[in-house]
Amino acid sequence: MSVKTGDSTSREPRRLTTDLEDGRSVEVEISGSPDNHARVDVRLEGERRWVFGVNDDVAVPLFDLDADGYGNRNEELPAWIEPLLRRLGLEGVDA
């Protein structure tokens, strides 16, 4: 999994793109301040969206949506999300 980052010096939200092993593309947007007031938005191309808050360097799931924008909190997170968040510098995902 390779990650391509945008301009990290800007005060605008950081946007990253990565390709999964199965060829699908994921876009990650990090907004807020880096001192644990951040929000991480993960979008799987044309399929799903997961939004996390950051608390003490741990991603806390806030909500996830299916492709039609409906809430979908009953499913487990895909196996690729936690390694992706760790590559961003977070310690993991809070259950």
Please write the tens of the pLDDT for every residue from 58-80.
Answer: 999 998 988 888 887 667 889 99
Is residue 13 predicted with pLDDT exceeding 70?
A: yes
Residue whose pair of structure tokens reads 């196996």 in the numeric block:
79
Q: State how far the Cα of 78 lies from the Cα of 21, in Å rounded to an integer.
A: 13
Is residue 10 predicted with pLDDT exceeding 70?
A: no
β-pairing, 39-44 with 25-31? antiparallel
Q: Residues 23-38: what's their mean pLDDT?
A: 80
Is residue 36 predicted with pLDDT exceeding 70?
A: no
Backbone angles phi, psi at 46, to 5 degrees: 65, 10
